[in-house]
Amino acid sequence: MIDQIIDYFNTIPSLHRALILAGGILFFWIVEGIVPLANFKYNKYRHAGINLFFTATTIIINFAFALVIVKASEWAIANQFGLLQLTTLPSWAMLIGGLLLLDLVGAYFIHFIEHKIKWMWKFHMVHHADTHVDTTTANRHHPGESVFRAVFTTIGVIICGAPMWLVMLYQSLSAVLSQFNHANMRLPLWLDNAISWIIISPNMHKVHHHYKQPQTDSNYGNIFSIWDRLFGTYNYTPVESLRYGLDVLDDSTDEQLNYQLKIPFDNSIKTNY
C-alpha cells in the first residue's frame, strides 16, 4: 500500500493535482450546503468569486515555484541532506515523519510568523478578512502571502530532505485538509473533538478565524493538530460564540477585490502588532 502511494505521487500528473484541488472544493461546497455550521445570509457565488481569484493567484505562484522546489528536493537527495536522510527509514516512517515535518515548517511555522511580524501580517489579513468562512476561504491568500508560503515550503523540503513524491503527497493533503477545516459544515461535536486530536478539525480551525485576539492568534495548524498542542497555541472556544472577520477592518470590504489587494500597503489600516 505504501509503495503504491509512493509510485503514484512520484509521477502524479498535473491534471490529477488540479482535480484533487477542484474536487475537494466541490465536495465540501456540497457538504456545507447540506449540513451548514453557520446559516450565512450571503450570495455564496459572489463570495466564492473573490476567493477563487485568490486561489488562482496561489496556483500561479505555486507553479512559478515548482521548479525551485523540485531542484531543492533533488539537491537534498543527491547530497543526503536533511533530517530524513540521516538514517535509512522504512517507507511508512518516511511518509509519516516527512508529512509531520513539512507541515511544521511549511504550514505551522510560516503561519505563526505571519501573525507575529507586522508587515507579513498585513498580507495575511486578507485571509482573515473573510466574514463568511467556508471551503473557498482555504486558498484566500494575497499573492504576497502565497510567496511566503512557497518559500517556507522550499525551506521545509531542504530541512527534511524530502523526496518529490513526499512533497506531492504533502501538498495534495494540505490542499484537501485546508478545504475540510475551513468548510462551513457541522460535524457531530464528539466527532469533531475526536478528529482534532490528530488533524485540524473544522471547529478547531474556525476559532482561528474569530475577529479578535486571543483566538486569532491560536490554532495555526493546517494538517496536524499536534503542533498547536505541543507549542501551547491551542485554543478551545465554542463555535457558537465566534464571529468571523477582523476587528480592525470594515466587514463590508471583505468582497472588494481592489481593497483587499491594497491592504498590505495601506498605512491607514491599524494592526495590534
* 164-182 and 14-34 helices, crossing angle to 10°: 20
* 44-78 and 164-182 helices, crossing angle to 10°: 160
Gyration radius of the chain over CA positions: 18
Confidence bin at 14 (pLDDT 50/70/90): confident
- Residues of the chain above pLDDT 70, percent: 99
Concatenating the DSSP letter of every residue in 180-203 gives HHHS-BPPPHHHHHHHTTTB--HH
Average pLDDT over residues 180-206: 97
Closest CA to 7 of 95, 89, 66, 69: 95
Confidence bin at 48 (pLDDT 50/70/90): very high
Measured CA to CA, the distance from residue 31 to residue 13 in angstroms comes to 27
Measured CA to CA, the distance from residue 121 to residue 114 in angstroms comes to 5
Please give the C-alpha separations between residue 161 and each of 2, 79, 171, 262, in angstroms, as whole numbers: 19, 9, 16, 37
Is residue 87 pLDDT above 90, yes or no? no
Across 93-229, the runs of DSSP E, i.e. the strands, are none
Q: pLDDT per residue over 76-86, tens digit each?
A: 999 999 999 98
Around Cβ 267, how many Cβ atoms within 10 Å? 6
Q: Please say whether the dihedral angle defined by the alpha carbons of residues 109, 150, 183 and 126, taken in this order, is positive or negative.
A: positive
Confidence bin at 273 (pLDDT 50/70/90): low
Q: pLDDT per residue over 60-76, tens digit each?
A: 999 999 999 999 999 99
* Structure confidence at residue 270 (pLDDT): 80
The residues, any chain, with a CB within 8 Å of residue 194's CB and separated by 6 or more, are: none
Closest CA to 242 of 204, 271, 269: 204
Length of the chain: 273
